[in-house]
Amino acid sequence: MNNLLTELRVATRNLRRNRNRTLVALLTVASGLIAYLLAGGFIEWIFENMRESTIRSQLGHIQIVRPGYFEKGIADPYSFLLPAKSSEIEAIKQSPEVTNVAQRLTFSGLSSYGDTTVSFIGEGIEPDHEAVISDQIHIRSGKNLSHDDEKAALLGEGLAKNLGVGPGDTIVLLVTAANGTPNAIELKVSGIFFTSAKEFDDSALRIPINFARKLMRVQGATSWVLLLKDTKNTGQAVEQLRASLPANTFEVTPWTDLADFYNKTVVLFGKQINLMKSIIALIIILTISNTQTMSVLERTTEIGTIMAIGFRRSQVLRMFIIEGILIGIFGGIVGITLGYGIAEILSFIGIPMPPPPGMETGFTAQINVTFTLAMDALALAFVTTLIASIMPAWKASRMNIVDSLRCNQ
């Protein structure tokens, strides 16, 4: 332990002797980490925002359906109906992790206004419960659904634009009921909504679930949608529900199994940030390796002297490696501190972004530097400087003592 402390003090003094070179090395490491934290924090914010938007506008944290619904239910959803009232749904509501449970009834058909007819994908919802679960569905104009106005419809922005309707207009829905008979009804448009998914907005229509049941001549729901206290607890909640509900009657599906676009986006951006991480690592390794090599060349006589008075080659090797590691640690701390500060300032100001593909509305982005990302950056600094120090340290430890002492003569 005493030897290690001594070597640390010696390495620190060696770094302080040539402050300009040490400063350049520290700034190289810090600059690389700042770039990594800002880019990674921006992508982390996008992931979090997209994740919560997907959960709170369409999917919920967990969906409970009949087995096989997601594979065959699109063609025949009414063969997979859940009961409107049951002991299971009451038990789910009592779960400490569950904050809300909403029933949904999916249906589809044609919507008409004047001479315009557009297909739609509809959902019968419980307005009070959905107001909590779907808080990322933003009302562009008009008002949200309520139990007081049963014959009302909430239209996605794209669907409303294609129909040419606004709040207060009356549209006609034509559907095929569960028994195979056609059914048509007039509804008043209560409001127009938009979400982060343009594809969803272009075809979505919502009406109160009680009226949807009358329209489709069914009872029950095609899915129960659950909202949890924390997204991080989704896996644990899924396991508990699967253990408590009969597998032959209920299928418990987490949002991650349904969010295909989100999952592919995470994979794409993950590969991009890994590529950036590799480039930063290469820059740090080359810079620190060059710095350490120059230090070895300048200290050739010193190296020969300390080995002549009894220093072992392994001690010389450790000395230069410790110097590189100290550069990584100090540079990492500086980089993380500055990166976090810059991220907070940029997040406070806000980063205006144009509408991304699939959306019509821009947004103000932020940078979310998480603890995991910061520790990953510190590990990056430590590992890269360690790797960069190995070759110069090995060359220093392999020097011939006599040739080293003659170097400056």
Q: What mean pLDDT do residues 65-84 have?
A: 83
Say if residue 129 is exposed, middle or buried (CB neighbours under 10 Å; 0-12, 13-18, 19+): middle
Of 103, 102, 107, 104, give the one whose Cα is nearest residue 74.
Answer: 107
Share of the chain above pLDDT 70, in %: 95
What's residue 339's pLDDT? 92
pLDDT in tens, 311-359: 777 777 888 888 888 888 898 899 999 999 999 999 898 888 777 665 6
User: For residue 176, which phi and psi values (nearest 5 degrees)?
Assistant: -105, 115
Q: What is the pTM of this model?
A: 0.78
- In this prediction, residues 22-34 reach a mean pLDDT of 88
Q: Which residues lie closer than 8 Å to 243 by C-beta, 6 or more apart?
A: none
Average pLDDT of the segment spanning 71-82? 81
The closest alpha carbon to 30, from 288, 366, 246, belongs to: 288
Measured CA distances, 214 to 151, 183, 220, 349 (Å)? 11, 10, 11, 50
Which residues, in sequence order, are CB contacts of 66 under 8 Å at separation 6+? 73, 80, 81, 82, 249, 250, 251
Nearest to 160 by CA among 184, 193, 137, 115: 193
Q: What is the mean pLDDT of residues 6-14?
A: 76
**What are the residue boundaries of the structural domains of the chain, listed by start?**
2-54+262-405, 67-249
Whether the per-residue pLDDT at 280 is higher than 90: the answer is no
**Over 60: is that where the pLDDT of 372 sits?**
yes
Q: What is the average pLDDT value for the chain, to the nearest integer?
A: 84
Q: 20-44 burial string, b = 16+ CB within 10 Å, else e?
A: ebbeebbebbbbbbbbbbbbbbbbb
Predicted pLDDT of residue 333 = 92
Q: The tokens of 28 are what?
A: 């190289």
Cα gap 187→154, rounded to integer Å: 10
Tens digits of residue pLDDT in 155-176: 988 899 998 988 888 888 898 8
pLDDT on residue 80:
85
What are 197-224's pLDDT values in tens digits?
778 888 889 989 888 888 888 888 888 8
Residue 409 has pLDDT above 60, yes or no: no
- In DSSP notation, 143-204 reads ----TT-SSEEEEEHHHHHHHT--TT-EEEEEEE-TTS-EEEEEEEEEEEEE-S-HHHHTTE
